[in-house]
């Protein structure tokens, strides 16, 4: 740019110089020519005054005039021709026997006035500028100036002018270069700033002082840079927010183009699809799950319709829903997938439906029995003994219903509780003693021996009724699922900072395959026996939730036919105190 400006500038000025040089040189040359003509004319005019001498002594006059002019510093050749054009006198050479009648200047002079010509002299052999005039006597007077002088002068003039032009061009080039550099400096600074801006340095600005239009240009540039920086900042913030939302989502989000290349994906997508290394730009394949997802996305691209799918045959019984939709506004066709892990929801749904069917079943059984008994009581005359029997059945079934509803209520209270607000230090020994007392009628009925060996001063943070409910369930089970003449040993000891309560019986035991589901609601090992002895199937579930509520653990060991031992570990609390502080 700078170079072009410089060349342009110098070129224009050079053209001007050359034009001026040519015009001036031609003008000066004409001036010289005119001056030469005037000198010749003047000489001829002066000599013409001596017309008599010209005709009588032409040679002498020519010589005399030639010498006079020479000494006056105006060297000139003077020639006299007679009427026929014969040379009769010449200041340079005598006895020239030549006829110049047809010479151009003589022909012109004969026609009247002065005649001129420029040519090489045949007699002297050098070029001359001739001027001739015809006198009244018919003689011709001719004056000639050697052209050498004129040519030398003109040559010198050309040379001087050329040197002048050369000097001028050099000076103009230097001046132009400085001027162009001064002129292009702000442009250069702005161009550098623009380059930085285009490379992504949005904080760049043009600083310093600018003159005139450049100041406006610099201001506009800085304004534009401000706007660009703000726009980019806004975009970045929005992108960060979007990225934050996407990365923070509990659902996996990913998008692919029609070449199955990943456009973006969030961390959750990587973990759900079990491919931590997957990143934007990769192909969506490499595992069965990824290939299935790629197929669903390809379908969304092809049909242009959103769709929902459920993937269920996944490892570890996982279940995903996949929502696919085409993405608008992309350069190439693309589709988006939102992958949601619905394993827990489906499990809960399944548990809920199982729970409903279990509750219905549990309620239906005693209700059927109650309705049957009532029907039988209503129909016909029954003797007193039969009536009493049905009243007993009604009593037992109503009691069973009562138990069931009670247990369900307790379970619903503790199931989702995070903590017990009425917790306080409770004596484990005292709670166990009360439980054993309550279990006495049942032990007698089942002929089971019950022993207690509890360390005093064992305190745990609980609500006393809840703690007793926990022990009641385990002790009652140990008695219920025992054998005639069997025994139950309840121990409570301190181990580190915990109270370890163990209820060991010599009962029927539990087979290994039942262990994993033992604490589930309504799960019974032997359904008929449990019902027979009035079990609801909720006891162990209540125990499990109570232990969890008080931050403890529960374990079970059993040998079928030999007995079962439940171990409850609860964190110890201070005996009592104003602040009820936990240990």
| 175 backbone dihedrals φ, ψ, rounded to 5° | -60, -40
- Of the pair 146, 537, the CB lying nearest ligand ADP is at 537
Q: Which of 206, 508, 569, 573 binds ligand ADP (CB under 6 A)?
A: 508
Question: Is residue 501 close enough to count as binding ligand ADP by CB under 6 A?
Answer: no
CA distance 121 to 31: 24
CB of 371 to ligand ADP, least distance (A): 23
Categorise residue 526: left if φ over 0, alpha if ψ from -120 to 50, beta otherwise.
beta
Question: Is residue 58 close enough to count as binding ligand ADP by CB under 6 A?
Answer: no
By CB atoms closer than 10 A (0-12, 13-18, 19+), residue 432 is buried
Interacting span for ligand ADP (CB under 6 A) from 105-113, 199-207, 314-322, 524-532: 524-532
CB of 439 to ligand ADP, least distance (A): 13
Question: Is residue 414 close enough to count as binding ligand ADP by CB under 6 A?
Answer: no
- In the shown chain, the binding pattern of residues 211 to 240 toward ligand ADP, with x for contact by CB under 6 A and - for none, equals ------------------------------
CA distance 466 to 527: 26
Interacting span for ligand ADP (CB under 6 A) from 83-91, 148-156, 500-508, 547-555: 500-508
Count of positions on this chain that bind ligand ADP (CB under 6 A): 23
**Residues 141 and 43: beta-carbon distance below 8 Å:** no
Q: Which of 128, 129, 130, 481 binds ligand ADP (CB under 6 A)?
A: 481
> Which residues, at least 6 apart from 550, have a Cβ–Cβ distance to it below 8 Å?
420, 423, 460, 461, 462, 467, 570, 571
- Of the pair 509, 571, the CB lying nearest ligand ADP is at 509
**Residues 437 and 477: beta-carbon distance below 8 Å:** no
Interacting span for ligand ADP (CB under 6 A) from 232-240, 297-305, 350-358, 517-525: 517-525
CA 579 to chain centre: 57
- Of the pair 246, 525, the CB lying nearest ligand ADP is at 525
Map the footprint of ligand ADP across residues 544-573, applying CB under 6 A.
Answer: 564
CA distance 44 to 50: 10
Question: Is residue 359 close enough to count as binding ligand ADP by CB under 6 A?
Answer: no
Q: Which of 226, 170, 233, 219 is nearest to 197 (CA)?
A: 226
- Of the pair 78, 546, the CB lying nearest ligand ADP is at 546
Question: Is residue 443 close enough to count as binding ligand ADP by CB under 6 A?
Answer: no
- Of the pair 174, 511, the CB lying nearest ligand ADP is at 511
- Of the pair 92, 505, the CB lying nearest ligand ADP is at 505
Question: Is residue 524 close enough to count as binding ligand ADP by CB under 6 A?
Answer: yes
CA distance 535 to 476: 10
Structure tokens at 77: 């050749």
Structure tokens at 373: 């008994």
- In the shown chain, the binding pattern of residues 528 to 547 toward ligand ADP, with x for contact by CB under 6 A and - for none, equals --x----xxxxxxx------
Question: Is residue 427 close enough to count as binding ligand ADP by CB under 6 A?
Answer: no
Structure tokens at 347: 């499990």
CB of 475 to ligand ADP, least distance (A): 9
Question: Is residue 518 close enough to count as binding ligand ADP by CB under 6 A?
Answer: yes
- Of the pair 469, 473, the CB lying nearest ligand ADP is at 473
Question: Is residue 410 close enough to count as binding ligand ADP by CB under 6 A?
Answer: no
Between CA 432 and CA 443, with CA 437 as vertex, the angle to 5 degrees is 110
Following DSSP, what letter does each residue of 384-402 receive, concatenated? HHHHHHHHHHHHHHHHHHH
By CB atoms closer than 10 A (0-12, 13-18, 19+), residue 346 is middle
Map the footprint of ligand ADP across residues 169-188, applying CB under 6 A.
Answer: none
Q: Find the helix packing angle between 212-248 and 147-198, rounded to 10°.
A: 30
CB of 569 to ligand ADP, least distance (A): 18
Question: Is residue 146 close enough to count as binding ligand ADP by CB under 6 A?
Answer: no
To which residue do tokens 């359904």 refer? 527
Locate the DSSP E strands across 270-395: 307-311, 320-327, 334-341
Question: Is residue 486 close enough to count as binding ligand ADP by CB under 6 A?
Answer: no
Question: Which stretches of the chain bind ligand ADP, using CB under 6 A?
Answer: 473, 477-478, 481, 505, 507-510, 518, 523-526, 530, 535-541, 564
């Amino acid at each position: 740019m700078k170079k072009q400006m410089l060349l342009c500038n110098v070129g224009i000025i050079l053209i001007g110089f050359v034009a001026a040089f040519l015009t001036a040189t031609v003008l000066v040359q004409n001036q010289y020519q005119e001056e030469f003509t005037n000198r010749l004319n003047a000489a001829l005019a002066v000599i013409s005054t001596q017309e008599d001498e010209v005709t009588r002594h032409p040679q002498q006059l020519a010589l005399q005039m030639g010498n006079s002019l020479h000494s006056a510093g105006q060297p000139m050749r003077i020639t006299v021709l007679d009427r026929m054009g014969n040379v009769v006198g010449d200041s340079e050479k005598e006895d020239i026997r030549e006829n110049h009648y047809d010479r151009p200047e003589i022909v012109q002079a004969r026609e009247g006035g002065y005649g001129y010509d420029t040519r090489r002299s045949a007699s002297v052999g050098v070029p001359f500028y001739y001027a001739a005039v015809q006198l009244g006597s018919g003689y011709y007077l001719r004056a000639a100036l050697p052209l050498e002088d004129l040519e030398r002068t003109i040559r010198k003039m050309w040379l001087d002018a050329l040197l002048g032009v050369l000097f001028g061009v050099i000076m103009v080039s230097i001046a132009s270069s400085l001027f162009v550099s001064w002129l292009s400096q702000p442009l250069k600074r702005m161009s550098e700033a623009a380059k930085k801006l285009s490379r992504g340095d949005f904080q760049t600005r043009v600083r310093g002082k600018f003159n005139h239009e450049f100041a406006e240009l610099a201001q506009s540039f800085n304004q534009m840079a401000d706007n660009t920086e703000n726009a980019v900042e806004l975009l970045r913030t929005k992108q960060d927010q979007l990225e934050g939302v996407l990365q923070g989502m509990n659902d996996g989000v990913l998008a692919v183009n029609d070449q199955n290349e990943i456009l973006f994906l969030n961390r959750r997508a990587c973990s759900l699809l079990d491919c931590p290394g997957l990143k934007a730009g990769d192909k969506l394949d490499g595992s069965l799950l990824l290939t299935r997802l790629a197929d669903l996305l390809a379908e969304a691209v092809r049909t242009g319709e959103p769709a929902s799918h459920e993937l269920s045959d996944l490892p570890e019984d996982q279940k995903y829903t996949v929502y696919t939709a085409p993405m608008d506004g992309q350069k190439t066709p693309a589709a988006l997938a939102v992958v949601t892990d619905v394993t827990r929801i489906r499990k809960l749904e399944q548990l809920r439906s199982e729970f409903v069917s279990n509750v219905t079943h549990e309620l239906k059984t005693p209700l059927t029995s109650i309705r049957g008994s009532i029907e039988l009581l209503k129909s016909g005359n029954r003797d007193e003994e039969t009536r009493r029997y049905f009243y007993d059945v009604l009593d037992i079934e109503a009691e069973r219903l009562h138990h069931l509803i009670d247990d369900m209520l307790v379970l619903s209270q503790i199931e989702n509780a995070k903590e017990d607000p009425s917790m306080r230090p409770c004596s484990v020994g005292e709670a166990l003693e009360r439980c054993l007392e309550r279990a006495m009628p049942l032990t007698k009925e089942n002929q089971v021996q019950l022993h207690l060996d509890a360390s005093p001063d064992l305190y745990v943070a609980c609500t006393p009724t809840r703690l007793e409910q926990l022990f009641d369930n385990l002790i009652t089970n140990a008695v219920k699922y025992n054998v005639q003449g069997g025994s139950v040993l309840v121990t409570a000891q301190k181990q580190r900072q915990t109270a370890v309560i163990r209820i060991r019986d010599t009962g029927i035991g539990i087979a290994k395959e039942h262990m994993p589901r033992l604490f589930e609601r309504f799960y019974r090992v032997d359904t008929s026996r449990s019902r027979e002895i009035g079990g609801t199937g909720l006891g162990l579930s209540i125990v499990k939730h109570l232990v969890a509520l008080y931050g403890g653990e529960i374990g079970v060991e059993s040998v079928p036919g030999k007995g079962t031992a439940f171990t409850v570990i609860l964190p110890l609390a201070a005996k009592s105190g104003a602040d009820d502080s936990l240990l």
